[in-house]
A = this chain, B = another copy of it.
Amino acid sequence: MRYIKDIKEGDNVSEHYLCASKQILKTRVGKTYYSLLLQDKTGSMDTKIWELSDGIANFEAGDYVKVEGSVVSFQGGLQLNVRRLRKSQTGEVDPKEYVPTVEGDMEQMYQELLGYVDKIGNAHLSQLAKKFFVEDKAFAERFKTHTAAKTMHHNVMGGLLEHTLGILRMCEFLADAYPTVDRDLLFVGALFHDMGKTRELSSFPILEYTDEGQLVGHIVMAVEWIGEKIREIPGFPAPLANLVKHMVLAHHGELEYGSPKKPAVLEAVLLHYADNIDAKVQTFGRILSETDKESNWSYYQKPFESSIRRTRY
């Protein structure tokens, strides 16, 4: 495959890319043209279609497209001028080439997650977790590939899975370290805490907040979802149902971060910290990876209210 990062001025390009955005514009003389942003996992490229001829098939933002064109230099950047374009067909493209993806193997990671599901001893909680992660295939598939955030941390394909797994491992350590912790409740909280994001954010390649996501938010969406599944489980104790919902509701830790309740059980306190740690480690790494290799210090970083530094001495 011809990666965008390798394209140079003067190249002729014939390749499949993801159309990340499409604008219909007019030149000064009133002629319609398209301005596109094409992307693959290595970068993106300003693209124009000046002639809307027969060679240009119908397509929309979000489609994979096969383009043919040539690359010119314009105002200090590169611009691809397209002569022919069609939508890519199933099988022609491998989505992993077009969106950033976690490093680990997603199938293997999901198996590890199911291992934690199996460790849940309480019958009601076990049943509840399996209703999502084992029995609901569509959910499982979506969960496996979704992102954990629109920006900042784990905003890659599989990011939600990776993040959830990082938290589960930490929760296992914490349950081992502090014997008063209820391991089952903690695991269920970790598994469920961000699953509302599969509906709050649309999937790759186009990452947008959904209307429901903006109006209701992933925290309350997850609580409703959990409530629905619980109603399908006969004899699920009401106090336990409330505790599970509370784990999700309180995991942002502070009202001003969108949790309508402060953590009131120890497991909710711990889940909040585990979530925070995993997100901060990932954000820290991402910032340093974007910082000049020569420099120990990054620019000022709002999430850390400080410049951050490589640990190098």
Task: Give the distance in Å from the alpha carbon of A309 to the alpha carbon of B215 in the complex.
Answer: 9
Q: Are B277 and A240 in contact (CB under 8 A)?
A: no
Chain A interface residue count, CB cutoff 8 Å, equals: 67
Indicate whether A259 reaches chain B with its CB closer than 8 angstroms: yes
Other-chain residue from B28, B249, B270, B309 in contact with A220 (beta carbon distance below 8 A)? B249
For residue A266, which residues in chain B have a CB less than 8 angstroms away from its CB?
A: 281, 284-285, 308, 311
Q: Are B304 and A262 in contact (CB under 8 A)?
A: yes
Q: Are B311 and A215 in contact (CB under 8 A)?
A: no
Other-chain residue from B245, B256, B269, B310 in contact with A284 (beta carbon distance below 8 A)? B269
Q: Are A243 and B215 in contact (CB under 8 A)?
A: yes
Q: Are A263 and B220 in contact (CB under 8 A)?
A: no
| Interface of chain A residues 237 through 295 with chain B (CB within 8 A) | 237-240, 242-243, 245-246, 249, 255-267, 269-270, 273, 276-277, 280-281, 284-285
Copies per complex? 6
Other-chain residue from B227, B246, B255 in contact with A224 (beta carbon distance below 8 A)? B227
Q: Are A182 and B311 in contact (CB under 8 A)?
A: yes
Residue-by-residue, is A211-232 near B (CB-CB < 8 Å gives 1, otherwise 0)?
1101111011001100100000
Given contacts A216-B242, A255-B255, A313-B240, contact A260 B260 (CB under 8 A): yes
Measured CB to CB, the nearest residue on chain B to A182 is B311
Q: Chain A: interface secondary structure? A: helix
Q: Are B211 and A285 in contact (CB under 8 A)?
A: no
Query: Which has the most chain B C-beta neighbours within 10 Å: A245, A256, A267?
Result: A245
Q: Output the least CB separation between A212 and chain B (Å).
A: 5
Indicate whether A170 reaches chain B with its CB closer than 8 angstroms: yes
Q: Are B264 and A211 in contact (CB under 8 A)?
A: no
Indicate whether A1 reaches chain B with its CB closer than 8 angstroms: no
For residue A166, which residues in chain B have a CB less than 8 angstroms away from its CB?
A: 177
Q: Are A264 and B169 in contact (CB under 8 A)?
A: no
Indicate whether A178 reaches chain B with its CB closer than 8 angstroms: yes
For residue A273, which residues in chain B have a CB less than 8 angstroms away from its CB?
A: 273, 276-277, 280
Task: Give the distance in Å from the alpha carbon of A214 to the alpha carbon of B221 in the complex.
Answer: 19
Q: Are A246 and B215 in contact (CB under 8 A)?
A: yes
Q: Output the least CB separation between A272 and chain B (Å).
A: 10
Q: Are A216 and B284 in contact (CB under 8 A)?
A: no
List 16 A-B pairs, Cβ < 8 Å.
A180-B285, A214-B264, A215-B309, A216-B242, A216-B245, A216-B246, A220-B220, A220-B245, A243-B311, A243-B313, A255-B256, A258-B261, A263-B306, A266-B285, A270-B281, A273-B280
A contact residues vs B (CB 8 Å cutoff): 9, 28, 73, 166, 169-170, 173-174, 177-178, 180, 182, 185, 211-212, 214-217, 219-220, 223-224, 227, 237-240, 242-243, 245-246, 249, 255-267, 269-270, 273, 276-277, 280-281, 284-285, 296-297, 304-313
